Structure 1
Amino acid sequence: MDAKPPGRRTFIRQMAASTALLGAGTTGLGGCTSTAAGFDEGAAAGFRHGVASGDPLNDRVILWTRVTPHRADAGSDIAVHWQMATDPAMRTLVAGGSVLASARQDYTVKIDAAGLLPGHVYYYQFAADGRKSVVGRTKTLARSDARQVRLAVFSCSNYPSGYFNVYADAARQDDIDAALHIGDYIYEYESTGYACEHAETLGRVSEPRDLLLRLDDYRRRYAQYRSDPDLQAVHAAMPFIAVWDDHELADDTWRDGSIDHKASEFGPFALRKQAAITAYHEWMPIRLPDAAAPDKIYRSFDFGGVVSLHMLDTRVIARDQQLMLSSYYDENKRFDAEKYRQDVCSPRRQMLGREQMEWLEGRVRQSSARWQMLGQQVLMARMEYPGAVVMGECSSSDYCALKQRAAADPSCVNEKEQRWLAAPTLPCYLDSWDGYQSDREQVFEMMRQHRKNLVVLAGDTHNAWASDLHDAQGRQVGVEFATASVSSPGMEGSYPGRDPEDVASMMVDLIEPLYYAQTSKRGYMIVTASHEQVRCDWRFVDTVFKHEFTAATERSLRTRAGPGNRRIEECGGA
């Protein structure tokens, strides 16, 4: 009878011990301080950027590492050996081989390790020039009779904003089947750019210091991020399934540009996009679905009969340029609300594109899993604000107070306030699905037509949200769970001195489909799916400015399967 594989906490302790035994030349979970790709000053190649696994299937998984070459070997290929075992001591081997690490791929190595058993935990290790990497832990996708799936969900990890305590906490969790990173794994800003106020104090100044434009720039930034011991720990503890958002390329990326790309100064955006995509595939443990089209990263993962996870691209392939609210004011500062609504709902505006939409429809139609789960970047829920707030006629706080006053005594509301309350809401976060409503309706109709249970996972905003999803006719379609950021600041900066709980309550009051908000803490989600329900637990850390931190699950919500459910509920005792 096979012994039960060790839990993740046991494995991490064993890995730390094995690191000490491997010698001073081996990179451990806590000993990496490199902030650029660079060279290994030792006598042989090393593994300064840890190990990772990703894109698990029933019978295979991608294994990743980067070899840091000795300075004298720069430009030469390096032979890398890999092994996979069923135990962390690497005694019971099940696979292995050799591959060359080349400067052409920035000395990154990817192995598609096949011939594995479904739903099994495996361990892996690399070696080069007499040095060994740490041992990584991974897991193949569940068997067809799986009863439960547990996923850790991350977004928005900005190196200069703070320590990656969120990753550290996740690495200690037991029974996570896979981690999802749904975008902004790195940030492309210069060292004096976004959220860098504490970078000098924390020793986390971005490298290179300039805005990322060329392939070497993106490579060096990934190398800096992957030098972080907490990011290395979570990669070594579980397989990742990742998609990019905008900051892996450039701020507010769309198909042919971004909000900050100045072609006259930086050159063609296509070259910058190509450089960013190349580095992403080099440094992330992702399986390329189509070698001829590296920008196509949408793909599906079936976790037995419980979850079909569809990872989408809402940025690079088809997204049309974002609309700007300010462009709908005329010379007299009058807002053309009718034209605005027509444009955000126009079927000509695409986010997924026809090819990806048809692919998704095919996958959803063919899936027999209990849950259809979309792993994607931006909020799909309707985050529309009252028109009076959008137009600046009334503050958010005053509007919430007005709603309460009107509910308590309608006679105390004057004519202007009545107009404010009666006016339709307006979308104002146009980088999200609110700015591409035709595509959103197609996704909703797809789920309704095929009678699917829908759960959408989102990130991007740096805040935690839970919303019911309704189509344009107000029919309940599913739910959305959105994660807070790993380190990027949230809405607390927009309301200095105000109680964050009041801000979160205000958001729930303002936005009708919004059920829950947490707008001031860094964290991640643990999403647990069974045939009966999908439960989301939001975990938050108390700081990202010190290595010493506490973490706790502060809110749990669920949705249940079936046409009479598919809405957000309190977990209760279930």
Structure 2
Amino acid sequence: MEIKPPIPTGRRTFIRQMAASSALLGVGAGGLSGCTSTAAGIADNGAPGFRHGVASGDPLSDRVILWTRITPPHGHTGEMPVHWQMATDPAMQNLIGQGSVVTSAQRDFTVKVDAGGLLPGHVYYYQFAIDGEKSVVGRTKTLARSDVRQVRLAVFSCSNYPAGYFNVYADAARQDDIDAALHIGDYIYEYESTGYACGNAEALGRVSEPRELLLRTDDYRRRYAQYRSDPDLQAVHAAMPFIVVWDDHEFADDTWRDGSVDHKASKYGPFELRKLAAITAYHEWMPIRVPDAATPDKIYRSFDFGGIVSLHMLDTRLIARDQQLMMSSYYDEHKHFDVEKYKQDVCSPRRQMIGREQMAWLEGQVVRSRARWQMLGQQVLMARMEYPTAVVMGECNCTDYSALKKRAKADPSCVNAKQQRWLSGTTLPCYLDSWDGYQADREQVFEMMQKHRKNLVVLAGDTHNAWASDLHDVQGKQVGVEFATASVSSPGMEGAYHDRDPEDVASMMVDLIEPLYYAQTSKRGYMIVTASHDQVRCDWRFVDTVFKHEFTAATERSLRVLPGPGNRRIEECPA
């Protein structure tokens, strides 16, 4: 469809905004592998008392969080003692730590252990037991303190249970050289069972529970329990430590500091109560270490992988974000769009994405870091994903603009005055839930990285599609790069533009958006990011289906960035 006012700014509409025209409707390294998901052959983990598996997370050089949940006998609400063990071997013979903890209904029978006294850069195995029954054995790894040759991270986003099977997790669980997994948001979705992306849920046996919209603590707990009953998700958690951060759907669509686009206080009650319920369930069910128990909404934190990567996990969603702007509010009664006021507002220094406190914390971490790469693990796109003003204003659709751009490059004399005005015009941000809607904060991050002469790599998710972009400041200076992952299961552009070749859609995006280098708009997948002193390489790995347990997986594109002020831009990997 042509962009016409009002222009929505929610997550689900971003997929359509990024294509924005009715005309749009009308491989790298790493081999192909045929797989069957864990779910195809495993009904549960074989331990009725541990039906949600095990997990580890927030690894440091000397400690790691261990997690499980006890499935209590029906009607049991009292305390339950749980034993845990840690070993250097998967047979759990060479024990190096053990202990007991107590859980109860007060924390939804979840268990967390901050197991310390570990050696840097070592693989460990762990297991839980209750009343003689044992959980599966999990594998985890501590962070290296000294220099290492490389760091490998798996990066996930947007895992929607009713939208399809978690084949992406199944493939990642088979990778044997991942140091840690990053989940950068939308680990669950909060919708009712008839909500977003539920069209195949009944046929797949994946109808959301509870069936109602998530509002109370027990609602969020039940949804996490459903997700964590999935064997593929259990398998990837058991295979590697996770470093996680929330986005909006752990709360509500397009959450900001004091609300959400979907939350109506008159109908659902105060948003603060819903936010507290979601935070409570998140900390119970995720293997995360709370930096400050007194402020559980503050989860930004850093992880140092030897001298290679300082990973800074940011919260761009909850603690400081101002409410999203709406393009529709910049049209007057005559349907004229106030371009100057719009630009002024998206660049306003009063608009905050991560807030002054988190910004100051980030700069402190960056200044102290001696790592080769500063890596931001965060939720939404930081790159400028702006459209030509002529397209945004509906003067020209995406298809025609792209074709015009190609003609002008081949033969400038074939372009008339009106078309030349389109081509030479400015661009406008449309996706205001991303950093495009909070440009002053983005410039402050860029300025920080340049001032301290850092090599910047940003990791993003949120959009359900894969992207790679160069990051430029407002003066156009190259600052770093952004690698954005496709979704685990949430649908991308292929749903909105089903009658157009996905390769054409992706090519169109690269034509229209100047800093955009790569796009994949139709497949589900994840990224494997490999950092060394010499480069950061990103491999985009995709599965061919999320609607069957049998699937193939392949690395379809690989790009890299080199360090140093003369580099810090996306380039192709050598053959």
Shorter-chain TM-score tier: over 0.9
Q: Counterparts of 1:408 and 1:241 in 2: how far apart (Å)?
A: 48
Aligned partner of 2:361 in structure 1 is 359
Aligned partner of 2:131 in structure 1 is 129
Aligned partner of 1:100 in structure 2 is 102
2:424 counterpart of 1:422? yes
Q: Counterparts of 2:224 and 2:539 in 1: how far apart (Å)?
A: 29
Q: Counterparts of 1:98 and 1:496 in 2: how far apart (Å)?
A: 54
Superposed CA deviations along residues 258-281 of structure 1, whole A, max 9, x for unmatched, are: 000000000000000000000000
Q: Counterparts of 1:209 and 1:45 in 2: how far apart (Å)?
A: 24
Aligned partner of 2:493 in structure 1 is 491
Q: Counterparts of 1:387 and 1:492 in 2: how far apart (Å)?
A: 25
Give the aligned residue type for 1:64: W
Aligned partner of 2:73 in structure 1 is 70
Q: Counterparts of 1:305 and 1:358 in 2: how far apart (Å)?
A: 23
Is 1:29–1:230's contact at 8 Å kept on the other side of the alignment?
Answer: no
How far 1:144 sits from its partner (Å)?
1.2
Aligned match of 2:44 in 32, 39, 49? Answer: 32
Aligned partner of 1:180 in structure 2 is 182
Give the aligned residue type for 1:263: A
Superposed CA deviations along residues 28-74 of structure 1, whole A, max 9, x for unmatched, are: 982229xxxxxxxx9x97000000000000000000000000115x1
How far 1:393 sits from its partner (Å)?
1.6
Superposed CA deviations along residues 326-362 of structure 1, whole A, max 9, x for unmatched, are: 1100000000000000000000000010000000000
Give the aligned residue type for 1:339: K
Aligned partner of 1:21 in structure 2 is none
Q: Counterparts of 1:307 and 1:340 in 2: how far apart (Å)?
A: 37
Matched residue count: 538
Aligned match of 1:372 in 371, 374, 386? Answer: 374
Is 2:61–2:121's contact at 8 Å kept on the other side of the alignment?
Answer: yes
Aligned partner of 1:60 in structure 2 is 63
Aligned partner of 1:19 in structure 2 is none
2:471 counterpart of 1:459? no
How far 1:407 sits from its partner (Å)?
1.4
Aligned match of 1:150 in 137, 149, 152? Answer: 152
2:94 counterpart of 1:82? no
Is 2:159–2:188's contact at 8 Å kept on the other side of the alignment?
Answer: yes
Q: Counterparts of 2:397 and 2:186 in 1: how far apart (Å)?
A: 31
Is 2:40–2:549's contact at 8 Å kept on the other side of the alignment?
Answer: no
Q: Counterparts of 1:520 and 1:376 in 2: how far apart (Å)?
A: 22
Is 1:45–1:129's contact at 8 Å kept on the other side of the alignment?
Answer: no
Is 1:29–1:229's contact at 8 Å kept on the other side of the alignment?
Answer: no
Q: Counterparts of 2:305 and 2:72 in 1: how far apart (Å)?
A: 38
2:331 counterpart of 1:329? yes
Is 1:28–1:134's contact at 8 Å kept on the other side of the alignment?
Answer: no
Aligned partner of 1:6 in structure 2 is none
Q: Counterparts of 2:88 and 2:43 in 1: how far apart (Å)?
A: 26
Q: Counterparts of 1:526 and 1:28 in 2: how far apart (Å)?
A: 25
Aligned partner of 1:434 in structure 2 is 436
Give the aligned residue type for 1:32: D
Q: Counterparts of 1:30 and 1:87 in 2: how far apart (Å)?
A: 24
Closer/same/farther in 2, CA of residues 60 and 88 from structure 1, 3 Å limit: same
Structure 2: tracts of 5 or more residues without a match = 1-37
Aligned partner of 1:445 in structure 2 is 447
Aligned partner of 2:30 in structure 1 is none
Aligned partner of 1:51 in structure 2 is 54
Q: Counterparts of 2:527 and 2:48 in 1: how far apart (Å)?
A: 37
Aligned partner of 2:13 in structure 1 is none
Q: Counterparts of 2:204 and 2:539 in 1: how far apart (Å)?
A: 29
Q: Counterparts of 2:455 and 2:510 in 1: how far apart (Å)?
A: 24
Is 1:255–1:320's contact at 8 Å kept on the other side of the alignment?
Answer: yes
Give the aligned residue type for 2:408: A
RMSD of equivalent CA atoms: 1.4
Superposed CA deviations along residues 145-178 of structure 1, whole A, max 9, x for unmatched, are: 2121000000000000000000000000011000
Q: Counterparts of 1:459 and 1:365 in 2: how far apart (Å)?
A: 26
Aligned partner of 1:119 in structure 2 is 121
Give the aligned residue type for 2:569: R
Superposed CA deviations along residues 263-304 of structure 1, whole A, max 9, x for unmatched, are: 000000000000000000000000000100000000000000
Give the aligned residue type for 2:195: G
Name the SS for the 1:335 alignment partner. Answer: coil
Is 1:155–1:483's contact at 8 Å kept on the other side of the alignment?
Answer: yes
Give the aligned residue type for 1:177: D
Structure 1: tracts of 5 or more residues without a match = 1-15, 17-26, 34-41
Is 1:45–1:70's contact at 8 Å kept on the other side of the alignment?
Answer: no
Percent identical residues: 83
Superposed CA deviations along residues 502-528 of structure 1, whole A, max 9, x for unmatched, are: 000000000000000000000000000
Q: Counterparts of 1:236 and 1:407 in 2: how far apart (Å)?
A: 53
TM-score normalised per structure 2: 0.92
Aligned match of 1:269 in 227, 248, 271? Answer: 271
Aligned partner of 1:169 in structure 2 is 171
How far 1:475 sits from its partner (Å)?
0.4
Q: Counterparts of 1:96 and 1:405 in 2: how far apart (Å)?
A: 69
Name the SS for the 2:511 alignment partner. Answer: helix
Q: Counterparts of 2:569 and 2:146 in 1: how far apart (Å)?
A: 26
Q: Counterparts of 1:31 and 1:355 in 2: how far apart (Å)?
A: 46
How far 1:103 sits from its partner (Å)?
0.6
Aligned match of 2:518 in 513, 516, 519? Answer: 516
Q: Counterparts of 2:413 and 2:150 in 1: how far apart (Å)?
A: 53
Give the aligned residue type for 2:285: W
Q: Counterparts of 2:476 and 2:40 in 1: how far apart (Å)?
A: 53
TM-score normalised per structure 1: 0.92
Large movers: runs of 4+ above 4 Å: none
Give the aligned residue type for 2:44: C
Q: Counterparts of 2:53 and 2:350 in 1: how far apart (Å)?
A: 45
Is 1:49–1:227's contact at 8 Å kept on the other side of the alignment?
Answer: yes
Name the SS for the 1:550 alignment partner. Answer: strand
Q: Counterparts of 1:143 and 1:333 in 2: how far apart (Å)?
A: 59
Aligned match of 1:306 in 305, 308, 315? Answer: 308
1:535-546 to 2 correspondence within 5 Å? 535-546=537-548
Aligned partner of 1:399 in structure 2 is 401
Name the SS for the 1:334 alignment partner. Answer: coil
How far 1:411 sits from its partner (Å)?
2.1
Aligned match of 1:257 in 232, 256, 259? Answer: 259
